[in-house]
Amino acid sequence: MRLRVLARLLRIQRALVRHGLADFVRATHLYRPFRFLAYLSPWTWFQRSMGVTRGERLRLALEELGPIFVKFGQAVSTRRDLLPADIADELAKLQDRVPPFDGALAIVAIEQAFGRPVGDIFGSFDRVPLAAASIAQVHVAALKDGREVIVKILRPGMREIIDLDLEVLQSLGRLADEYWADARRLRPVDLVREYRKIILDELDLLREAGNAAQLKRNFAGSPLLYVPEVYWDYCRVNVMVMERIHGVVISDLEELRARGTDIPKLAANGVEIFFTQVFRDNFFHADMHPGNIFVQIDDPRNPRYAAVDFGIVGTLQARDQHYLAENFLAFFDRDYARVAALHVESGWVPRGTRTDELESAVRTVCEPIFNKPLKEISFAQVLLRLFETARRFDMQVQPQLILLQKTLFNIEGLGRQLYPELDLWQTAQPYLRRWMRERMGPRGVLRRIRRQLPDTLLALQQLPQIFQTAVREAGEGRSRQAEDSSAAALRDAMRRSDARRDATTAAAVLWLSGLAWLALATQAPSLGWLLMAAAIGVFVWSRSSGLRGE
């Protein structure tokens, strides 16, 4: 382990102890190699109770440790199979908002990115940030033509801080693999690797701009979701400029109701937006907490969502997308046998799992919540029971689905807050059935064939070249060893084939001669029968002797 990683681990230990979490240091398997240091720490000797729950103390410690730990806490808070419920509930309260950095530093970053004064770039620029998050903050500005925009700027030194903390997480993941009994099933190293990709993507604002542009194309002309326009001429790796949108924060229910917003329709539209992103587009906004979602209510009877912050988006492999859709539909049909079979087919549970036992376990969890509105369902508890079932059946964590699971939790929280009467099943079921019909119907099949046709034709065009290469390599002696080992067998097979052909020809001649003799001869018909018997003998001998070629 590198020295700087060890130093960072010790600082983490100190923060945990300072927040009254020495029991984590002493007990957790992740810190087993270092827990003896807790006993030598003055913070341990003079520790006093903080007067709050362990979950709250852990949340405060993560906030002190910095942005990557805040975000990691948010991510793992969705993994209730990894955490006790009280800790997961407290970590879910973590917010992206942190104290802003100085506006003067923001101006320096902009001028370095563009190579000219900020006054030459914008008509106006507000030094006071509109909002601040763990990785970046945003300022209001106006372009030279008067268009109002939002300027997002990365915090200075973020890459160095995050690189160090990623090293720490990787080290912790390796320690978990070594000391944690559930590591094989929960795959901490893979989870950290997946998280690394997510967090590093957030540091590239050009990538975020591309995400926003893609989502805007996906919902072009849609009455459901508005995505602000990206101004590409003003975007750099650490600076992004996009249209400023106005609306009501989705968590401000009082304002929404005061303006006469159709709340049930807004909630139903949110479900449709989610399933459209995941299944139709396979490109979904994966950071849908209330601070990133606004509602435009120019027409209160037809409210429209507006999204911001596109640093985290998710996609699914076609295989996972298919299995998820099939699982949803099987659940809607209460076909728990199909749910169990799909989990085995997808590899999410081991091949040897008894589907009848898994079916019974899934039915026990899901049947009590079927057709109930959100207000009567605790998804956290349902998923906790599902994860306990998964542990029983040795179901492995799927790192590629962690963003989707995080988004599902965000959607559930928004839906519960916005319209608790929402029947998620009845709202989602028609959309999924329509998507499956389109996907599996003739038009969907033809679309996939048309999409794959260029690759197929390209592969066919390459076949002659591949064949020529193989022939050339054989001619150059690269296949000589294989040729030497098979040449004798080939020559022997050819000899037997020739002999078998000659014997078959002789048998045919004898058979025809015998038939001709019997047909034409008036005396000694026995000769004809003798010739035919000889033909049978020759034929049988050729098939039963070494001429068979076996």
Q: Are 19 and 64 in contact (CB under 8 A)?
A: yes
**CA pair distance 181, 188, nearest whole angstrom:** 11
Q: Find where tokens 């990557």 sit.
A: 68
DSSP annotation of 298 = S
Q: List C-alpha distances in Å: 338 to 163, 174, 293, 315.
A: 44, 36, 36, 25
CA angle 249, 197, 178 (to 5 degrees): 120
Q: What kind and span of H or E run contains 497?
A: helix 480-520
Name the phi and psi angles at 501, rounded to 5.
-65, -45
Q: What is the maximal distance between C-alpha atoms in the chain?
A: 128
Nearest to 182 by CA among 21, 380, 388: 388
**CA pair distance 377, 408, nearest whole angstrom:** 14
**CA pair distance 338, 328, nearest whole angstrom:** 10
DSSP annotation of 144 = T
Alpha helix ranges (H) inside 226-378: 253-258, 263-275, 318-332, 336-346, 355-366
Q: For residue 285, list its beta bridge partners.
A: 313
Q: How far apart are the first and last CA of the chain?
A: 62
**CA pair distance 112, 498, nearest whole angstrom:** 83
Chain-centre distance of CA 275, in angstroms?
Answer: 15
Residues catalogued as catalytic: 287
DSSP annotation of 117 = -
